[in-house]
Structure formats: C-alpha cells, structure tokens
Amino acid sequence: MPLRPLLLLRVFIPFALGFFLSYLFRTVNAVIAPDLVRDIGVDPASLGLLTSAYFLAFAAFQLPLGVLLDRFGARRVEAILLLFAAAGAFVFSQSETLTGLMLGRALIGLGVSACLMAAFKAFTLWFPAERLPLANGIQMISGGVGALAATTPVELSLRFTDWRGVFLILAGLTVATAVCVFLVVPEKEGTYSGETLREQMAGVGRVFTSKTFWGIAPWAVTAQAAYLSIAGLWSGPWLRDIASYDRMSVANTLMGVSLAMIVGYFMFGAVAERLARRNVKPMSVAATGMLIFIVVQCLLVLQCTPLTLPLWLLFGFFGTAGILPYAVLSQSFPRHLAGRVNTGLNLLVFLAAFAAQWVIGLIINLWPQTGTGGYDAAGYSSGFGLIVVLQLATAAWYYLANRSGRSTLQAAE
C-alpha cells in the first residue's frame, strides 16, 4: 500500500534537514580553512587533524549508534544527538585554541553521527527493499545541498560576519532541527527491536563476521574515505595552490562540485533501481561508478590543470557511487539488523576518512610552503596518490572475492 504524501514528507523532511546540516558541518572547513590558518595559526597537519576530528568522533559512536537505533528508533536517537552537535558548534565558535576547536569539532561529529543512519533505518521500516537505493539516494541529495551551502553561500556570509558567527548561526539551526525531528517524524510498528543487549551485540558480531559484508565493505570504505576527506577539506587548498584560483573562484568551483554531488546521488539511486528491474545488480552499478571515480582521481594526481573544472565536477558526481553499497548490504541482512549493518559500514568509512584527511595533511607537510604561503604541488600528488593506491587494492579485493564463489557476495548483489 503506497504511503500518503503527507506521511512521506513527515518521514523525509526532518531527516533531510539533519543530513543537510551534517554535510554542511562536514565540508565547511574547505572554505574557511584560510581563516582558521590566519586566526589560530595551524599548519597543514594540524588543519587536517582538526577537520578530521569530526570523522573520528563520528566513527567512534557508530557501533553504539547501531544498537541504539535498533533498540529505541531513529526519531528519538537523532533528536537527542543533534543537541550535542549544537553544543559543538557553539564551542567551536568560541574557541581560541586548536584544542578548543578540536573539542567543538568532535562534539559536532558525535552529534550528527545519526543523521544518515537514522534516515536509512527509518527507510527500511517504511519502504520496500527494492525502493531503498532510490530512497537512500534522495536522502543523500539533502547532504549535497548542505555541501552546496558550505561553499559560495558561506564565502558570501563571511563578508557580513566571520567564521565564528557562521557557527553560532549553525548552532541555532541545529537546535531547531532537533525539535523538528522529535515532533514531526512518525513512529511505526517495528521501530523497537525488543532484543536484549546481549542479543543486540550478537547481531553486531553477525555483521562483522559476514563474508558478504567483507566482500563489499573494503572498496566502499576506501572510495567514501577518499570522497569525504578530499571534498571536505583538501579540495579547497588544491584549487588555490594547483589551479591558482582566488577565494571566490574556489568557493564557486566547490559549489559546482556540490551540484554534481546532488545530481550524482539522485542518478545513481535512480539508475540502480531501474537497472535492477533488468537484472543488473546495484553493486555492479556501484562498481562501475567507483572505477570511474578512481580514474578521475588519477587525473587530479597528475594535476591536469586545463581540465580543473570538469575533473572536479566529475569527482563530485562519481564519488557518490560509493553510497550504493549501503542499500546493497541493508538488503542482505534481516531487517532488524539494518541499523547495525549500516553503522558497521559507517564506522569503517569514517575511521578511514579520519585517517585519510589527516595523513594527506601529514604528507603535504613534508614539503616546505611555497613563497606565496601555499603548499607544494608534490605534496598534493603524493597524498592523493596514496589514497588512489588504496582504492585500487580494495577494488582488486572486491573482484577477487566476487570471482572466488566462496562468499555470499553474489547473492547480496
């Protein structure tokens, strides 16, 4: 029986608002990085560590989050956690030291850790399995809009306030979103699993000992880590130092990347659903997109500056292919494990994103700054190149696991 339009909006809109803010918080440092360097005095390694504190806190809470989502439901868990994100935005806005900024950034990461997983959990309750790739893709569009808001709009807002004022505004918006999620999202029978804590932890073990999970997860993890770490921070400095863009040109290009991201999330979800009717597996669509994503990154490593704009637009579009494995894995386990499956994958994704964002900064820091105060081109090529190598290795693992026939990967596809 189809959902009534009003009920559909009550399921989608509050979670979309939360994920909008999550992605805005995630990517805003790509635009305000020069201001943080100027006001706090951080080097590339510290900038990478500061920005990636979001990913570390986000990742650290994923396993307990999966248990909480399956035990208490998406609405309550996300509403409460968003209040932590609001507190983190306030702390960030008031901090004068790297330590204070990292604390605020970590609280933000903790607070928005449920914004996507809560939506995915709710969708498994409200929508049939064959609709999940499209439903998840539509949800991801709101994240793309958040990334879009973190580009030119943020740059323009800095003409009227500073980065501290931006984060104060975000703190207020986050509180309002928490209230919206709690009051608007409907409850549904089956929201609470009724399992004991011991049974829930056994479910976590079931996910992490699954051949299906480990056949798919490694490539999805490295692809998403590359996407999140580069788009969330190092894209902006790359455009400044390699393409010689000014601040507004950087912001405008990143806005284009975000628009490409929005289109990509929708297109990959829609194409996967349509092709599934013709017996083309969603994981096959994801693998094709992630392979093209690797090619695009190789061209960025080679610093093909005449192709700067199209390359970054392609980066934004094909990087979204890595979201499809979430839907694939959700369909490969019983529905009551959906929260733990998605958060298990998310744990690995965000740990990898934390490491990638920090390690790229460490590698860039191995070269001295240029005369204009930027970073050396060789540092970007080396840092981005390492991430490409990891994706190639996990892509090979995926194809070997698929060909071996010893796992249940083919059934999951």
- Residue 245's domain comprises 10-182+196-412
Residue 2 located in a structural domain: no
Question: Position of tokens 């979201």?
Answer: 323
Count of structural domains within the chain: 1
pLDDT value at residue 40: 83
Is residue 39, in this structure, part of any structural domain at all?
Answer: yes
| 394, part of any domain | yes
**pLDDT value of residue 356:** 93
Using alpha carbons, select from 361, 356, 291, 281 the residue that is nearest to residue 325. Answer: 281
Look at residue 178 and tell me if it is in a domain: yes
Characterise 245 by phi-psi region: left (phi > 0), alpha (psi -120 to 50), beta (else): beta
Residues of 251-275 as b/e, b for ≥16 C-beta within 10 angstroms? bbbbbbbbbbbbbbbbebbebbbee
* Any domain includes 250: yes
Positions of E strands within 33-97? none
Please give the pLDDT value at position 410: 42
**Residue 251: which of 234, 236, 262 has the closest Cα?**
236
pTM, two decimals, is 0.78
Which residues have CB under 8 Å from 293's CB, separation 6+? 223, 226, 227, 315, 318, 319, 321, 322, 391
User: Is residue 191 domain-resident?
Assistant: no
92: Cα separation from own chain's centroid: 20
Q: What is the mean pLDDT of each run of 10 residues along the chain (413 residues)?
A: 64 89 88 84 81 86 82 88 97 90 93 88 74 72 86 87 93 96 79 65 85 92 94 90 92 91 87 85 93 97 94 95 86 76 86 91 89 86 97 95 56 40
Per-residue model confidence (pLDDT) at position 235: 93
pLDDT at position 412, please? 41
| Domain CATH for 371 | 1.20.1250.20
Helix, strand, coil share of the chain (percent; to 5): 80, 0, 20
**Counting every residue, how long is the chain?**
413
In the prediction, which pLDDT does 408 show? Answer: 43
Single-letter amino acid code for the residue at 67 = V
Q: Does 151 fall in a domain? A: yes
pLDDT for 406 equals: 45
Residue 276 lies in a domain: yes
Give the integer Cα–Cα distance in Å for 46 and 54.
13
* H-assigned helices in 150-281: 152-157, 163-184, 197-208, 211-229, 235-241, 247-276
pLDDT the model gives residue 405: 47
Q: How many other β-carbons are positioned within 10 Å of the β-carbon of residue 153?
A: 15
The reported pLDDT for the residue numbered 27 is 84
